[in-house]
Amino acid sequence: MPRWLRKTFIVLITVFTFGLVSPPDYLYIDDVKADKPEKQSYIEDVAIPYSEETSYSYSPPLSKEDFVTNALAEAESQSFQKFGTKISPVIEEEFREAILPKIEEALTEVSEQADEVELSNLGITESPSGGYGEKIFNVYNRETGEDIIRFHVRRDHPPKDGYWFNFHYHKSEDGFQKHYDLGKIYWNQNMPPKWLN
């Protein structure tokens, strides 16, 4: 039976029975046989010849210093992404001088509390929140998906004092309840634009 005719029968049976009855197996048999590769050709395709020149790459465990360096670079990138093009130029210099070194201290503390296996499983989230959300980035365990530490920035507006950006972080060990201060940067008397703008 031609293949197009078999497929037509399969479609007709499925449509007329509203999918409640499966088409008979013999309509699929030739398709199944066609999908199976021959054993000999499969073995030849998979076999990898060994030679003295074959090299295997080995990547050593991530050192604490490398983790902090990589995480700090990602933290800076995520921060400026969150600030957007309107806020970044205004606070960039002060952020690099006052806030980034404190973020580095917090990341160093995280690295010192982790062993080599835990350290290699740590990742940085890549989606800072926009609008009025506080999230800059989180350090999380890639295996479990659980956050270890969350870095935030909040807009403060004390009466008659203008707008401030309050940088802080939260730790998992206290249920992310306590604020660990990183510093504040003054904006001005006018309300700052939304994040990611």
Nearest to 184 by CA among 159, 160, 158, 147: 158
Which residue's entry shows tokens 């604490």? 64
Residues 163 and 135 in one domain: yes
Does residue 127 register a pLDDT over 80? Answer: yes
Residue 57 lies in a domain: no
Count of domains for the chain: 2
Find the radius of gyration of the CA atoms of the chain.
Answer: 29
Residues 112 and 83 in one domain: yes
pLDDT score recorded for residue 153 = 96
Q: What is the pLDDT of residues 69-99, one digit of tens each?
A: 999 999 999 999 999 999 999 999 999 999 9
Residues 103 and 153 in one domain: yes
Domain that holds residue 22: 3-46
What is the Cα–Cα distance from 158 to 164, expressed in whole angstroms?
8
Residue 124 lies in a domain: yes
pLDDT score recorded for residue 57 = 43
Residues 164 and 76 in one domain: yes
Residue 98 lies in a domain: yes
Residue 54 lies in a domain: no
Residues 162 and 88 in one domain: yes
Residue 59 lies in a domain: no
pLDDT score recorded for residue 19 = 66
* Residues paired with residue 139 on neighbouring β-strands, in sequence order: 124, 149
* % of the chain with per-residue pLDDT over 90: 54
The DSSP code for 98 is I
Residue 56 lies in a domain: no
10: confidence class by pLDDT, cuts 50, 70, 90: confident
Encode 152-172: b = buried (16+ Cβ within 10 Å), e = exposed: bbeeeeeeeeebbbbbbbbbe
Residues 144 and 73 in one domain: yes
Q: What is the pLDDT of residues 17-43, one digit of tens each?
A: 766 666 666 655 655 455 445 544 444
Residues 132 and 161 in one domain: yes
Nearest to 99 by CA among 18, 156, 169, 42: 169
Residues 107 and 40 in one domain: no
Q: What is the pLDDT of residues 152-185, one digit of tens each?
A: 999 999 988 899 999 999 999 999 999 999 999 9
What is the Cα–Cα distance from 166 to 157, expressed in whole angstroms?
10
What is the Cα–Cα distance from 197 to 130, expressed in whole angstroms?
8
CB atoms within 10 A of CB 10: 16
Alpha-carbon torsion, ordered 66, 136, 196, 123, to 10 deg:
40
What is the Cα–Cα distance from 183 to 170, expressed in whole angstroms?
14
